[in-house]
């Protein structure tokens, strides 16, 4: 299956290579470099390349290319998904996935890669298992290790490997038992020039952070599961229970994980939280254009819109922007032709406005079309578990009765009604937070 892996940075240096079968010369990457040259954007490099003897399957993550060499037929998604899983693991272990971090931890990285694949076939990809095999580096541990000579490598088989719940390690112990869930909903929308919704849908995800002792068995039920149209689960979720009762029943992995992704059925109307008035025009005569953008709240249900940000990919001819913003700051990134206007909180009384002149390259033709606006925003439901300590002073029942009374999540109204724990005796702290965000939110101009 996966023959070799090369990690390549943006400038085209191969800074790590790992071979699971016989060694493949790194010259094979030349084909990739060739394709990379051709592509304008790194995103445009085809993920699958064919060379005379090999196939190269590449993933672009965090400014790095994960290039794997494959010799025979293999489902491309298999490799792509695996490479992303490798990147996720690095992220999980080192906090970020960057060239310098990988170089600093090259031995751990190598040990990880060694455990993740055997003969090119995935062996252990669950973070809980890997962490038992190879402990993530911490400052304390590296100090202890240098002093005592003990190692970062486990010498027994991780319990997860053989159990029916491979995603959870055994003997988890915490003094504070907590389980937090973030229900994050993203609005994907395309609005056209006049502000009409061309396409809008809601994608949700439940991110969990569970720190519970022992083998807890959790059950989460929703007030209105009917909203959910399409779901995908972490392997820990018992699908049968979901099918029959529409409740999530699972033994959680330890730590952070994504419990579920969902898609809200298209029958439900999507509330578009903001409207945009824009006017971008380029003049036929004279090397300049005018830009005028105003953003106002639309359907926010009385919630504040935060972290509002507008990104505009300008046409190539735009040299600079001379604008004034009534609120927030704007920056114009010349090499990438990217105008970013960071607004922050949306004040309904005084609508933010960005106005001014765009100057064009002398002699360049007037851009045919106007750039589209990408909008980022975030609507936080009053965070009931905003700070873990806040929650832990309440008991669970209060927290949840609160949640069903005062918090009506903006987007779909998906609400967690109950979270129960079986299998362990202690009382954990539990909390749920609802956030609405803009996903791929685009305004065409």
Segment 207 to 246, residues that bind other proteins, using CB under 8 A:
215, 217, 229-235, 238-241, 243-246
Report which secondary-structure segment, H or E, holds 335.
Answer: none
Residues 346-365 that bind other proteins (CB under 8 A): 365
Q: How many residues does the chain have?
A: 445
Q: Are 183 and 434 in contact (CB under 8 A)?
A: yes
CA distance 206 to 184: 6
Under the binding rule (CB under 8 A), the answer on residue 386 touching other proteins is no
Under the binding rule (CB under 8 A), the answer on residue 384 touching other proteins is no
Q: Which of 278, 268, 236 is nearest to 375 (CA)?
A: 278
> Beta strand pairing status for 247-250 and 329-333?
unpaired
CA distance 123 to 263: 31
Instruction: Spell out, one character per residue from 83 to 112, where the chain touches other proteins: x when CB under 8 A holds, - when not.
Output: -x------------------xxxxxxxxx-
Report which secondary-structure segment, H or E, holds 286.
Answer: none
Provide the minimum distance between the beta carbon of 69 and other proteins in the complex, in angstroms, as a whole number. Answer: 13
Residues 253-282 that bind other proteins (CB under 8 A): 258, 261, 263
Under the binding rule (CB under 8 A), the answer on residue 287 touching other proteins is no
Using the rule CB under 8 A, give the single segment among 142-150, 323-331, 378-386, 390-398 that binds other proteins. Answer: 142-150
CA distance 168 to 348: 47
Q: What are phi and psi of 221, to 5 degrees?
A: -120, 155
Provide the minimum distance between the beta carbon of 345 and other proteins in the complex, in angstroms, as a whole number. Answer: 25
Under the binding rule (CB under 8 A), the answer on residue 418 touching other proteins is no
Token pair belonging to 47: 């993920």
Provide the minimum distance between the beta carbon of 216 and other proteins in the complex, in angstroms, as a whole number. Answer: 8
Under the binding rule (CB under 8 A), the answer on residue 165 touching other proteins is yes
Provide the minimum distance between the beta carbon of 65 and other proteins in the complex, in angstroms, as a whole number. Answer: 11
Under the binding rule (CB under 8 A), the answer on residue 43 touching other proteins is yes
Q: Are 232 and 261 in contact (CB under 8 A)?
A: yes
**Number of chain residues interacting with other proteins (CB under 8 A):** 114
Which of 22, 194, 196, 349 is the binder for other proteins (CB under 8 A)?
Answer: 22
Under the binding rule (CB under 8 A), the answer on residue 162 touching other proteins is yes
Using the rule CB under 8 A, give the single segment among 174-182, 311-319, 340-348, 400-408 that binds other proteins. Answer: 311-319
Task: Region of 413 please: left (phi>0), alpha (psi -120 to 50) or beta.
Answer: left
Number of alpha carbons in the 13 Å side-chain half-sphere of residue 307: 10
Residues 184-203 that bind other proteins (CB under 8 A): 188, 190, 192, 198-199, 201, 203
Under the binding rule (CB under 8 A), the answer on residue 164 touching other proteins is yes
Under the binding rule (CB under 8 A), the answer on residue 1 touching other proteins is yes
Token pair belonging to 227: 């909203």
Which of 268, 374, 380, 392 is the binder for other proteins (CB under 8 A)?
Answer: 374
Under the binding rule (CB under 8 A), the answer on residue 136 touching other proteins is no
DSSP state of 330: E
Residues with Cβ within 8 Å of residue 60, at least 6 apart in sequence = 42, 43, 45, 66
Under the binding rule (CB under 8 A), the answer on residue 163 touching other proteins is yes
Which of 367, 392, 394, 418 is the binder for other proteins (CB under 8 A)?
Answer: 367
Provide the minimum distance between the beta carbon of 295 and other proteins in the complex, in angstroms, as a whole number. Answer: 19
Taking the least distance from each CB to other proteins, the nearer of 51 and 294 is: 51
Q: Is 258 helix (H, G, I), strand (E, B) or coil?
A: strand
Provide the minimum distance between the beta carbon of 23 and other proteins in the complex, in angstroms, as a whole number. Answer: 7
- With b for 16 or more beta-carbon neighbours within 10 A and e for fewer, the 377-404 pattern comes to bbbbbebbbeeeeebbebebeebbeebe
Using the rule CB under 8 A, give the single segment among 339-347, 370-378, 383-391, 393-401 that binds other proteins. Answer: 370-378
Cα Rg of the chain (Å, integer)? 25
């Amino acid at each position: 299956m996966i023959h070799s892996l090369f990690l390549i940075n943006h400038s085209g240096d191969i800074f790590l290579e790992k071979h699971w079968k016989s060694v493949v010369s790194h010259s094979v990457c030349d084909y990739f470099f060739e394709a990379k040259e051709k592509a304008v954007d790194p995103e445009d490099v085809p993920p699958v390349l064919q060379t005379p003897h090999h196939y190269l399957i590449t993933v672009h993550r965090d400014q790095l290319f994960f290039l794997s060499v494959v010799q025979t037929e293999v489902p491309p998604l298999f490799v792509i998904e695996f490479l992303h899983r490798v990147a996720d693991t690095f992220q999980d272990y080192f906090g970020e996935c960057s060239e310098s971090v990988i170089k600093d931890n090259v031995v751990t990285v190598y040990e990880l890669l060694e455990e993740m694949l055997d003969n090119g076939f995935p062996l252990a990809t669950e973070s809980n298992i890997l962490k038992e095999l190879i402990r993530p580096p911490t400052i304390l541990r590296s100090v202890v290790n240098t002093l005592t000579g003990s190692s970062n490598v486990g010498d027994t088989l991780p319990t997860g490997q053989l159990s029916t719940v491979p995603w959870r390690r055994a003997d988890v112990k915490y003094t504070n038992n907590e389980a937090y869930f973030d229900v994050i909903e993203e609005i994907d929308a395309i609005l056209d020039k006049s502000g009409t919704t061309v396409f809008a849908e809601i994608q949700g995800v439940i991110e969990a952070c569970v720190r519970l002792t022992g083998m807890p068995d959790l059950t989460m039920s929703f007030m209105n599961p009917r909203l959910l149209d399409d779901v995908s689960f972490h392997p820990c979720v018992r699908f049968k229970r979901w099918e029959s009762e529409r409740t999530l029943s699972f033994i959680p992995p330890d730590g952070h994980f994504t419990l579920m992704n969902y898609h809200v059925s298209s029958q439900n109307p999507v509330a578009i939280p903001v409207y945009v008035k824009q006017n971008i025009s380029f003049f036929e005569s004279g090397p300049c254009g005018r830009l005028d953008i105003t953003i106002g709240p639309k359907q926010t249900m009385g919630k504040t819109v935060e972290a509002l940000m507008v990104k505009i990919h300008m046409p190539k001819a735009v040299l600079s922007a001379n604008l004034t913003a009534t609120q927030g700051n704007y920056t114009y990134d010349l090499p990438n032709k990217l105008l970013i206007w960071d607004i922050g909180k949306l004040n309904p009384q005084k609508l933010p406005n960005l106005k001014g002149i765009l100057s064009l390259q002398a002699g360049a033709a007037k851009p045919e079309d106007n750039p589209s606006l990408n909008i980022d925003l975030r609507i936080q439901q009053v965070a009931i578990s905003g700070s873990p300590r806040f929650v832990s002073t309440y008991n669970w029942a209060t927290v949840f009765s609160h949640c069903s009374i005062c918090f009506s999540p903006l987007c779909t109204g998906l609400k967690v009604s109950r979270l129960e724990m079986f299998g362990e005796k202690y009382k954990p702290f539990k909390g749920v937070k609802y956030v609405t965000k803009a996903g791929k939110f685009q305004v065409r101009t």
